[in-house]
Chain A
Amino acid sequence: MLDIKNIQTFYGKIQALRDVSIKVNSGEIVSLIGANGAGKSTLLMTVSGINKPREGVIIFEGKNIEKEEPHKIVKLGISQSPEGRRIFSKLTVEENLKLGSNIYENGRNYLNDIKEIFELFPVLSDRKTQRGGTLSGGEQQMLAIGRALMARPKMLLLDEPSLGIAPKLVNQIFVAIKNINKEKKVTIFLVEQNAKKALELADRAYVLVNGKVTIQGTGQELLKNQDIQAAYLEGGG
């Protein structure tokens, strides 16, 4: 479904991604783990068209998208819940959600979609008229995922949904991610530093080190891998 081939992405002279190739098949949950600064967010932003790769191609459902504009990539079916959540703090929860459906220009009825998001994350329903900036970190994360779902994506990119969130909420969010994949049939490409959780959830996974993919395999294989245990899983990961 998504085929990332030999991507090189730069920030000025700094090279953030070195010859990265990753495949995500339809219906899968694929996780990408890696330390701070490994280039995980850069990769998602490259898929979303915010960063343009200097070399390599990205093919989504048979179409080259590496030169496409970000808003068009969303229309093709890829949406993202970015690192740091980036909620519109001055807009209400409901407005944040409605923004996610802006790609449908001809008065599409988004109320039903909002209802589905509220079923997935009931807290958001209680906070409907509250400004996004007043939500807790966990609630903001749910809102960010919900907002990305409003575009009815075929593939959802999630950048560190567990970042800075209480363990109890993290569990809830991971359950929701699984739900989104199994019930809503959305393919998921998940970026995480919380390696244990990400690998448990994943069908397949990749490890990114200094902008390079070093290990790949099924989630279970990687959980058992000695190097990964040493580098990412020990000490509670």
Chain B
Amino acid sequence: MEYFLQQLVNGITLGSIYGLIAIGYTMVYGIIGMINFAHGDIFMIGAFIAIISFLIFGLTSIALPFILLFVLLISMLFTACYGWTVEKLAYKPLRGSFRLAPLISALGMSIVLQNFVQVAQGARTKAIHPIITGKFEFFKESDFVVIVSHLQIFMVLLTIALMAGFTFLITKTDLGRAQRACEQDKTMASLLGINVDRTISVTFIIGSSLASVAGMMFVLYYGVIDFYIGFLAGIKAFTAAVLGGIGSLPGAMLGGLIIGLIEVMWSGYISSEYKDVAAFSVLIVTLIFFPTGLLGKPEIEKV
């Protein structure tokens, strides 16, 4: 029981990371109907910007909460620029061409981003010392002590705050309404005076900044990154988006949580060496048996 609780805590933490990345996949799919395979690498870029910022701020005497805030804002800002640029360079010129074209372009962008980081930052791993330390211990009298670290609480709370803000943005603001309108009918949206290109750009900006937060959390949680982390995390988050129902925002959050839990439970109870297999199995099972996902809409609207 205590062991299970521990896995639950770890799974929710991991699920936060996947959920934040998954939103980017699902939003981009929703608005332009493509899988942005470079999104995992945008997450990786976010992680690098975060680790570099942490290393720089580590040299200063700024208090920890401010460092966290600055790093958060810096990586969101810069990563958003990357996401925006990728869309402008690699996808926008292909709008209106055949369906596979932007997909191929996305794979190309993914390689470009990885190689760019590999060249600019070196192929070796980058590491930092733990920044948020401290923990709560539960069930101390039992033989398995459940540990909830301050970092885990920080990650989950930050995720909840971002998701709440994001949900508000999509459901209540002009921007979110325009975004949902563009998902359904871009021509009609433009007939109402909505700047469709700008709405698509904003989608990439939002998706990228959420992924960058996931990147920062990854840095804090694992302490070490390399230019390749975007691939695995990307595929798992993509699985989360598909599992939740691609195009569905609550689905992406739920999917992220479930994938995080499955991965942790799998490594806790079955085999930690094959933990990555778990996500792929889920992906395959979902695609075969319920391709619309848990919260996806089976409406045949995107032809």
Contacts and interface: CB of A to CB of B under 8 A. Distances in A.
A71 B177 contact: no
A88 B181 CA distance: 7
A100 B177 CA distance: 11
B192 A95 contact: no
B193 interface: yes
B193 A74 contact: yes
Contact of A70 (B174, B177, B185, B191): B191
A100 B191 CA distance: 9
A80 B187 CA distance: 11
B117 interface: no
B interface bracket (residues with beta carbon within 8 Å of A): 10 to 19
Interface of B: 174, 177-178, 180-181, 184-185, 187-196
**Those 5 A-B pairs whose CB atoms lie nearest each other, nearest first:** A74-B193, A103-B193, A70-B190, A86-B188, A71-B193
Given A90-B180, A99-B177, A50 B194 contact: no
A86 B193 contact: no
Contacts of A91: 177, 180-181, 184
Label chain A's interface by main secondary structure.
Answer: loop
A105 B190 contact: no
A interface bracket (residues with beta carbon within 8 Å of B): 20 to 34
Contacts, number: 71
A50 B185 CA distance: 13
A49 B189 CA distance: 13
Contacts of A89: 184
A90 B184 contact: yes
Interface of A: 48-50, 69-71, 74-75, 79-80, 82, 86, 88-91, 95, 98-100, 102-103, 105, 147-148, 150-151
A90 B191 CA distance: 18
Contacts of A103: 192-194
Contact of B178 (A75, A99, A148): A99
Given A102-B178, A105-B174, A80 B191 contact: yes
30 contacts: A70-B187, A71-B192, A71-B193, A74-B190, A74-B191, A74-B193, A75-B193, A79-B191, A79-B193, A82-B188, A82-B191, A86-B187, A86-B188, A86-B191, A88-B188, A90-B180, A90-B184, A91-B180, A95-B180, A98-B177, A99-B189, A99-B192, A99-B194, A102-B174, A102-B193, A102-B194, A103-B192, A147-B192, A148-B192, A151-B193
